[in-house]
Structure 1
């Protein structure tokens, strides 16, 4: 699994700037080892992150590889758009339309050009060294695009009983994935805030979520806007985050008649197949909802 564009650099983990001397790096490493050690009240994950950071930049040779173009060996250029993967089985995939991640990728490319300087050449806007240096706001656009693309690949395995629309306009906002199948009509948002999130008071909180932001509420409101224009009603709103950024599947609660949930990416497809107890769409109802959505959906 590739690192997220929002993953902390080894310099961030050690708490030093990229210009730090080797002595400063060594002192920072020893300090962070003491602070994060589980026996001193730290977490295993933080302790492991410190050790990994040191393995990347702890000696001049490793640091030179990380800081230079050869750092791609550690973080392969997996963020660039790639051709669809060949299917490994003969099962029919879900019907799909739209371009997942396309809107965020275009914004990322625009912002990278503005950050580098208009007119200056950018040999590869997805070069890992370039991405690491970019401001958080720029990297977050690429992280959002990658999150959408990864979720879309998973959703494609739902099977022929499901229909998918990606990057759907909903008033002034957008819904990353609209999923229709026997388990209902779902508004699915793919997110990567660069850190774990959890449900609290009907929405999500986490280190990567701006104070006051309400991503669940925004998703529900966007779903209702699309629902009104298509004369359909959404069953649920699902926020999908990278594995390790949520505790499996969490029931956030019901908001304005829409069930809201949070799920790790690897759990999302099973959740959509299994559905919510007592909620289903079938037969002529499913055909009617699909027809209405086909007529109303516009891609962003």
Structure 2
């Protein structure tokens, strides 16, 4: 059933709303909300045996809905923005912002997040039902009421767009391709590789993810409750191989990038996969990790990089 009332917009489609963090329904009155906040704060406080992460989450939730003005804005799906920025529809693609510096950007090809957004739009319309008109497929009420697998698709689209913005800052020495077709990856594999980066620090295949929970390495593969049986490193290796094999080149690194709160360390190495270094990287650390070079991954000289780029340009296809 579709939601019919305004619903708050969390930072990620998979995040808990402030009401869920505080343990109250979204229509709770102000007194009930304040009681829930005090109770949650008391239980989460580190001095009384609580958890610091949970304590900060409770405080952040209160900042969003603790006053009538903040709550009204949150329930409308409005976020606080800088004066120079204009708010846009919840979850919708953000309008390009004017650049504030003249530093050259990495050369980029493809449409980051494009395939995944199209997938989300198809799924949300199918779930809403035939004949139902969705005035805004990104409305926060609709997003919050959708099944988790559909919200996960939207979360991934947002993650891919965030990664693309970070990769653009690498500079002119790097080339970035987004949404590459992986038809040869095998049955059951996603039909695309999110990002492929080529530069002095190697040829790096990247998957942007938001599972809505923490993940970590165990024996060269990622584990975590939110994965629900997925094997992300295996899938990324297969997709990277499908993309690079026609060009007769091999990736030097396989990277999965997640929201900062979902990785215990800024950069974690999980061994190698067919000679490629495997890494889990926080989103805020991605650009610097690539510029610095991933530990153990070979660098490419100028001539080698140019040859690899030419081979890839002749064979790559977009999803």
TM-score class, shorter-chain normalisation, is 0.7 to 0.9
Query: SS at 2:172's partner residue?
Result: coil
Deviation at 1:253? Answer: 1.0
Deviation at 1:17, TM superposition (A): 4.7
Q: Secondary structure at the match of 2:260?
A: coil
Call closer, same or farther: CA 1:66–1:115 in 2, change over 3 Å: farther
Which TM-score applies when normalising by structure 1? 0.87
* Structure 1 residue 72, shift from structure 2 partner: 2.3
For the pair 1:224 / 2:241, whether they are aligned, the reply is yes
**CA–CA separation in structure 2 for the residues paired with 1:14 and 1:32:** 6
Q: Provide TM-score, normalisation by structure 2.
A: 0.83
1:270 and 2:288 aligned: yes
Deviations 1:134-165 (A, max 9, x none): 22212111110010001101101111111111
Do the aligned residues in 1 keep the contact of 2:117 with 2:154 (CA within 8 Å)? Answer: yes
Show the 5 A alignment for 1:251-290. Answer: 251-276=269-294, 279-290=298-309
Q: Which whole-Å deviations, capped at 9, do the CAs of 1:236-290 have from their partners, x for residues lacking one?
A: 0011112232211111111221110111112111111111456111233212211
Question: What is the alpha-carbon distance in structure 2 between the residues aligned to residue 135 and residue 17 of structure 1?
Answer: 18
Say if 2:112 and 2:160, in contact at 8 Å, map to a contact too.
yes
Aligned residues: 296
CA distance in 1, matches of 2:218, 2:48: 29
The residue that corresponds to 2:266 in the other structure is 248
Query: Which residue number corresponds to residue 108 of structure 1?
Result: 120
* Partner residue in 2 for 1:44: 52
* SS of residue matched to 2:226: coil
Moved more, 288-297 or 53-62: 53-62
Match of 1:175 among 172, 177, 193: 193
Report if the CA contact (8 A) 1:103-1:167 is conserved: yes
Distance 2:297 2:16 in 1: 42
How far does residue 80 in structure 1 lie from its aligned partner after superposition?
A: 1.2
Conserved 8 A contact 2:193-2:236: yes
Point out where structure 2 has 5 or more consecutive residues left out of the alignment: 1-9, 82-86
CA positional deviation for 1:25: 5.5
2:13 to 1, 5, 9: 5
C-alpha distance in structure 2 between counterparts of 1:127 and 1:284, whole Å: 49
2:254 pairs with 1:237: yes
Superimposed CA distance per residue, residues 178-216 of structure 1 (whole angstroms, 9 cap, x where no aligned partner): 001111110011111122322222122234221x21111
Q: Which residue of 2 aligns with 1:72?
A: 78
Q: Which range moved further: 17-26 or 243-252?
A: 17-26
Q: Give distance in 2, aligned partners of 1:28 and 1:206.
A: 29
User: Which residue in the other structure is 1:190 paired with?
Assistant: 208
Among candidates 9, 33, 40, match of residue 32 of structure 1: 40
Residues 161, 20 of structure 1: alpha-carbon distance in 2 compared, 3 angstrom cutoff? same
Q: Secondary structure at the match of 1:120?
A: coil
Quick check: 1:130 aligned with 2:142?
A: yes
Alpha-carbon deviation of 1:4?
Answer: 1.5
- 1:177 deviates by 0.4
